[in-house]
Structures are given as structure tokens and as C-alpha cells.
Amino acid sequence: MIEFDKVSKQFPDGTKAVDNISFRVEPGELFVLIGPSGCGKTTTMKMINRLIDTTSGKISINDENILHKDLHKLRWEIGYVLQQIALFPHMTIAENIAIVPELKKWEKKRTEKRIDELMEMTGLDPDTYRNRLPKELSGGQQQRVGVIRALAGDPDILLMDEPFSALDPISREQLQKDIASLQRDIKKTIVFVTHDMDEALQLGDRIAVMQEGKIVQMDTPDNLLEHPADDFVKSFIGERKDMWETRVEAAMMPVPEPLPPDLPSVNAELSLREAVRVLQESEKEQAAVLKENKIAGVITNKSVLAYLMPGQKKEGGRK
């Protein structure tokens, strides 16, 4: 668990990069910081592993002030992925990944096993890639190695600072999907920085929108879309708000077998907004979508979100 308590950072030249922010990231949560360039995202991130020290306020990890922790231990317990990961060019992929486990003095066998496991988990065949040099991998594959390297020492916390923004759209989409599914398995506490709202909505359990060093809204993806706090947040969300007026059938999935009992139902002509309200009030996982009094499909919170996010067509019904 990471907690910021009224944290500010002013640089020696007077720049107030972070201005009195407080938030708590729960264990296993993927927490997104989003905002325009220069709003203080990277500074916030770097204060967690003390690459930058705070000017005022307190940051704790598992209820311990980070200033009281051993600096090396703190850094080893926190994986860090940057936009441009710097793999060591003369070292093989396996050697690059083994850096933190070796610092931690893991047994060689354990390190090797961990490398294979993580490479397999992220779709890099160990037999093919283990002994290659970074330059023998594509940009997307190198970034994947960056993620693996950050995870190698089995840190509790992962900091990811615009990890995919230098990639082409296809690698980027693939890595976003990989991170989402990886997170379902490993459940790390992740702070993820992006300036891309689609990425934030797709990955975040919660999203904090930053502007000029302050957090202007902190909410779940659904609430952020549904209730943007002000015009700044609205502008970040762009036109997507109106998509809630789309007919619910757009976000429909095939009827599952067997059909669960006691499903709430919505009419196919209802708006997404109204349909989601019915779903939420029912406290069920899914709702049947009725067309001419027949069940034409079902919606879930996920299928609706998938519809609302471009590039995420897998679970939604968008053709």
C-alpha cells in the first residue's frame, strides 16, 4: 500500500511541480496518474522510490515512512519501467533481466526459473530470446523485456512511467493487453503514468487526473466517464461522454450458456447510461438485452467499458 499525505515538491529554481497531493494506492491496485505534459506525473512517481525527495508531506509504504526505509531496499522492492527502457546493450536479455535478482543474491537456479517464467508470461519464448542482445529485438519486445526486468526481483510495487508511449500503435495495444492480463495473475501494486486517456481507462482500477501539480479528480474509469469533475477533465475525456447515449445493443455480447438465473433485463433501445444503471442497481454481473421480447445478448460492466474504449473490441459487441 502506498500513501501520499499532503505531498508537495518545489524544485530549487522555484518550480512547484507537485502541490499538496494526497492519495492511497491499495495492494494489488493499478492506479493511473494522467495529465498533460509538465503536470507533475513523473515527479510524483520519482518521489515514491526517492529518486526525488519531497519538499513537504509524507509518503508511506505499508504504513512506514519511506524516509525511514533503507534506500537500496526501497529501490529493490520497487520495479521501475520507463518510457525508453535502457537495456544494457552488451548484455543478453537473460543477463539484463537478472540484474535485480543478482543484487538480491538469489540463487542462480531461482533466478533462471524466474526469467523463464516471466518471459513465457509475456509471450517471449525463452529458448529463442534468452541469449539475444537487445539490438536483436524489436522495440516492442525490448519494452517487454523492460517490464520483465522490473518484475524480475518480485517487487511488491511497480512504477510505470509512460511505458508504452514510444511504441507503434500495434505493439502498444498488445503490451496494454499483456499488462492487463499479467496484472490479473500477479496482482502487484502498480502506479502507471500516461497522458493517454484510452490507456488509462483500459488499465486503471482508479485514475487520478492531474493539472499543474494538483489532483483534480480521482475516480474509477466508469465514474470518471460518467461524472467528470470539471471542464478540464471533460476535455481530457474528449467526446467519449456522448457515447453513453448509444443504444445498449452496441455493447452486447453473445448469450452465455448456461444462462444464469434471475438476470435483470434491459430493452435493446435503452441508452448505455440507463442500461448500466439497471445493471448496477440489480447488483448482478450481467443483464439480458431484450429485442422484441427475446434475449438477444447480455451486457456486463466490462462489455460496456470495452465498447466505450476504442481499440478494445474483443469483449464488446462493436463490429
Ligand X SMILES: Nc1ncnc2c1ncn2[C@@H]1O[C@H](COP(=O)(O)OP(=O)(O)O)[C@@H](O)[C@H]1O
Q: Note the residues at the interface with ligand X (CB under 6 A).
A: 11, 13, 15, 17, 35, 37-43
- Decide which of ligand X, Mg ion, none touches 293; Cβ closer than 5 to 8 Å per partner kind: none
Sheet strand arrangement including 56-61 = 16-25, 2-10, 56-61, 64-65
Residues 186, 200: contact at Cβ < 8 Å? no
Rank residues 17 and 306 by Cβ distance to Mg ion and give the closer one: 17
- Decide which of ligand X, Mg ion, none touches 128; Cβ closer than 5 to 8 Å per partner kind: none
- Decide which of ligand X, Mg ion, none touches 100; Cβ closer than 5 to 8 Å per partner kind: none
Closest approach of ligand X to the CB of residue 209, in Å: 12
* From 33-41, 129-137, 240-248, 302-310, span contacting Mg ion (CB under 5 A): 33-41
Q: How many CB atoms lie within 10 A of CB 235?
A: 10
Contact between 43 and Mg ion per CB under 5 A: no
Residues 97, 110: contact at Cβ < 8 Å? no
- Decide which of Mg ion, ligand X, none touches 11; Cβ closer than 5 to 8 Å per partner kind: ligand X
Which residues, in sequence order, are CB contacts of 317 under 8 Å at separation 6+?
Answer: 249, 250, 251, 252, 253, 297, 303, 307
Handedness of CA 260, 243, 29, 167 (dihedral sign): positive
Rank residues 41 and 172 by Cβ distance to Mg ion and give the closer one: 41
C-alpha–C-alpha distance, residues 179 and 195, integer Å? 17
Bridge partner residues of 290 (DSSP): 267, 295
Rank residues 40 and 134 by Cβ distance to ligand X and give the closer one: 40
Rank residues 83 and 265 by Cβ distance to ligand X and give the closer one: 83
Three-class DSSP category at 20: strand
Residues 79, 113: contact at Cβ < 8 Å? no
Closest approach of ligand X to the CB of residue 202, in Å: 20
Give, in degrees to the nearest 5, the angle at Cα 270 between 245 and 237: 20
Closest approach of ligand X to the CB of residue 206, in Å: 18
Rank residues 197 and 279 by Cβ distance to ligand X and give the closer one: 197
Q: How many CB atoms lie within 10 A of CB 192?
A: 26
Closest approach of Mg ion to the CB of residue 42, in Å: 3
Q: Which of 8, 21, 35, 42 binds Mg ion (CB under 5 A)?
A: 42
Rank residues 42 and 122 by Cβ distance to ligand X and give the closer one: 42
Closest alpha carbon to 54 in 95, 16, 13, 83: 16
Rank residues 11 and 88 by Cβ distance to ligand X and give the closer one: 11
Rank residues 13 and 239 by Cβ distance to ligand X and give the closer one: 13
C-alpha–C-alpha distance, residues 198 and 16, integer Å? 28
Closest approach of ligand X to the CB of residue 192, in Å: 13
* From 1-9, 38-46, 117-125, 251-259, span contacting Mg ion (CB under 5 A): 38-46
- By CB under 5 A, the count of residues binding Mg ion is 2
Site track for Mg ion across 271-310, x = CB under 5 A: ----------------------------------------
Phi, psi torsion values for 236, nearest 5 degrees = -70, -35
Closest alpha carbon to 152 in 71, 73, 80: 80
- Which chain residues interact with Mg ion by CB under 5 A? 41-42
